[in-house]
């Protein structure tokens, strides 16, 4: 297994339309449809980083639905691994909608997923370390440990007293 990988090695991009069977009563994209697309693309980034065919969603740490996405929109999802731990990886997904009038993509949503690489017995298996390069990648890398601890505390997998990185946020 490669010891380290850069964030850009796990970059995945998915562009698609919003079709009539993917909308809610207000003619905007159904939240569950966007979640499914986010889960799918982050699993691709997790596979690319881990080099493992088998990865599973461990948690959805954050999703924000900032702006509605109307029927017929061109939606682009961009995902990258932001930090790798032992077997788990944090993945950021940014969502953009194309504005045909101004010919630009505008950001509408984002989400943070945690995936775990598993072996043939469905047991967590080691993944390469991640090297963050750009300013944004470094910022996301640095905050990822806090988010992991928060996710583990909320899932009842970590005692709040042991979440040192998270506690430091409130005491600084
Ligand atoms: C996720 C899963 C593999 C964890 O397995 P486990 O036997 O509990 O193993 P561990 O406790 O060693 O956890 C493995 C890693 O996942 C991380 N993890 C587990 N739950 C987590 C959570 N809620 N948030 C963040 N990280 C989590 C652990 O911190 C650990 O990370 P590390 O190895 O990088 O330090 C297991 O719970 C599972 O298979 N869940 C179902 C996944 C699934 O089916 N997803 C699709 C849902 S439809």
Rounded-to-10 torsion of CA 130, 135, 141, 142: 130
pLDDT-wise least confident of 43-57, 80-94, 122-136, 158-172: 158-172
Tell me the CA–centroid distance for residue 94 and ligand 1, in Å: 23
**Which has the closest alpha carbon to 149: 125, 172, 168?**
168
- List of residues 6+ apart from 31 with CB closer than 8 A: 24, 65
Q: Read off the pLDDT of each residue in 15-38 and give the average, rounded to a whole number.
A: 97
Tokens of 153: 């505390």
Mutate to test the pocket of ligand 1, among 54, 58, 81 (most ligand atoms within 8 A of CB): 58
The helix/strand/coil state of 103 is: coil
**pLDDT of the residue at 76:** 98
Residue 155 in contact with ligand 1 by CB distance below 6 A? yes
**pLDDT of the residue at 167:** 81
Question: What DSSP state is assigned to residue 91?
Answer: E
Q: Is the pLDDT of residue 9 over 80?
A: yes
For the chain, what are the domain ranges? 4-132
Residue 59 in contact with ligand 1 by CB distance below 6 A? yes
Q: Are 49 and 78 in contact (CB under 8 A)?
A: no
Q: Read off the pLDDT of each residue in 23-47 and give the average, rounded to a whole number.
A: 97
Give the position of tokens 């682009």. Answer: 76
Residue 39 in contact with ligand 1 by CB distance below 6 A? no
pTM of the model: 0.95
Third-level CATH fold of 4-132: Thiol Ester Dehydrase; Chain A (3.10.129)
Residue 31 in contact with ligand 1 by CB distance below 6 A? no
Q: Is the pLDDT of residue 31 over 90?
A: yes
Q: Read off the pLDDT of each residue in 101-113 and give the average, rounded to a whole number.
A: 97
Tell me which of 61 and 49 has the higher pLDDT. Answer: 49
Q: How far apart are CA 65 and CA 117, in angstroms?
A: 28
Tell me which of 171 and 162 has the higher pLDDT. Answer: 162
């Amino acid at each position: 297994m490669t010891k380290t990988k850069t964030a850009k090695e796990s970059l995945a991009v998915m562009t698609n339309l919003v079709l009539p069977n993917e909308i809610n009563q207000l003619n905007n994209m159904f939240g569950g449809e966007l979640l499914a697309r986010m889960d799918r693309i982050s699993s691709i980034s997790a596979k690319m980083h881990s080099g493992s065919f088998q990865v599973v969603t461990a948690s959805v740490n954050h999703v924000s639905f900032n702006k509605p996405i109307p029927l017929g929109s061109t939606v682009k999802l961009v995902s990258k691994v932001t930090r790798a731990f032992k077997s788990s990886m944090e993945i950021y997904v940014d969502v953009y909608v194309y504005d045909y009038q101004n010919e630009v993509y505008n950001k509408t949503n984002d989400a943070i997923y945690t995936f775990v690489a598993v072996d043939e017995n469905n047991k967590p298996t080691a993944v390469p370390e991640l090297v963050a390069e750009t300013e944004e990648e470094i910022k996301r890398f640095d905050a990822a440990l806090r988010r992991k601890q928060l996710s583990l505390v909320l899932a009842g997998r970590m005692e709040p007293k042991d979440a040192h990185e998270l506690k430091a946020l409130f005491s600084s």
